[in-house]
Amino acid sequence: MIKSKAIISASSFLSMFFLGIGVTIIGATARNIGLTPFQIGLLIIVQNIGFGLSVIVTGTLADSYEKPKILFVGSIILALSFFFFFRLSNSLFINCIIMFFIGVGIGSYEGVTDAMLLDIHKKRETFYININHFFVTFGSIIITTYIIFLNMNWRDSLLQSSICVFLLTIIFIMITLKVKKSKTIKLSERLKILTQKKGVIILFFITAIAVGLEVEFVGIITTFLMNLKNFSQTISKIGLILFFSGIATRQQAGRSPRHPSFG
């Protein structure tokens, strides 16, 4: 069984890498598949519903169940979803269902990996959390770049991603990490506490809008560049890579030695 902090941390980083791939699938492949703006928006909405529900459920379960086992289940769901996306059928309805489960899979990573890292690292927690989330952007850049070099054969990239996520499930099932006993607050009680603070509510909605705009932009940027700016497939994907590079630069700036978290 695996107890190494290094391996557990690496598995968390890899999970977030594939979260980045899951978030970028639509933006990187929309024009290859031939999706209309309506279909792109619908798939993104469905994915975000699955993602949000999964974050809430897995984050709550992480308080009382072994986190690697939750990630194991999430990885199985994600591996199968990657494999079947526009491979099982070209039906939009069926692929919306598959996209929902992609959201569920990557949502388990978002809901559990940070908590798992906090369990095993007692020093420089912020450093590990920042690295964890950097891998989301890294995954987005890599999958977009990879599709360019595959000459737009995006199905190969998803098949290979599916295999890699399946291998990740093997690591999660072998990780031994005891559940840390703590006072568990019910989800309803947490929401009640948060809704009593107006500042938190306002911040929540502002953050939700900002993140939503960012995610939506990822989904439509290649379509925008091709339809309205007459860019080619390759150039539109380079535009997406530049967008992610900007996000990565912002994240790196936030982790500078002058950051208060590293005082």
**Does residue 186 sit in helix, strand or coil?**
coil
The fold adopted by the segment(s) 5-262 is Growth Hormone; Chain: A; (1.20.1250)
- Name residue, tokens 């986190």: 67
Q: What type of residue is 190?
A: R
Count Cβ neighbours within 10 Å for each residue of 12-23 and write b for 16 or more, e otherwise: bbbbbbbbbbbb
CA 15 to chain centre: 8
CA pseudo-torsion sign 124, 129, 130, 132:
positive
pTM over 0.95? The answer is no
- Contacts (Cβ under 8 Å, ≥6 apart) of 186: none
**How many Å apart are CA 244 and CA 240, to the nearest integer?**
6
**How many Å apart are CA 30 and CA 223, to the nearest integer?**
7
pLDDT, position 63: 82
pLDDT, position 187: 59
pLDDT, position 3: 82
pLDDT, position 258: 36
pLDDT, position 188: 66
pLDDT, position 184: 57
Radius of gyration of the chain (CA): 19
Q: What is the mean pLDDT of the chain?
A: 83
- Can you give the residue ranges of every domain in the chain? 5-262
Low-confidence ranges of the chain (pLDDT < 70): 150-152, 179-195, 211, 214-215, 250-263
**Does residue 229 sit in helix, strand or coil?**
coil
List pLDDT tens digits, range 66-75. Answer: 999 999 999 9
pLDDT, position 254: 54
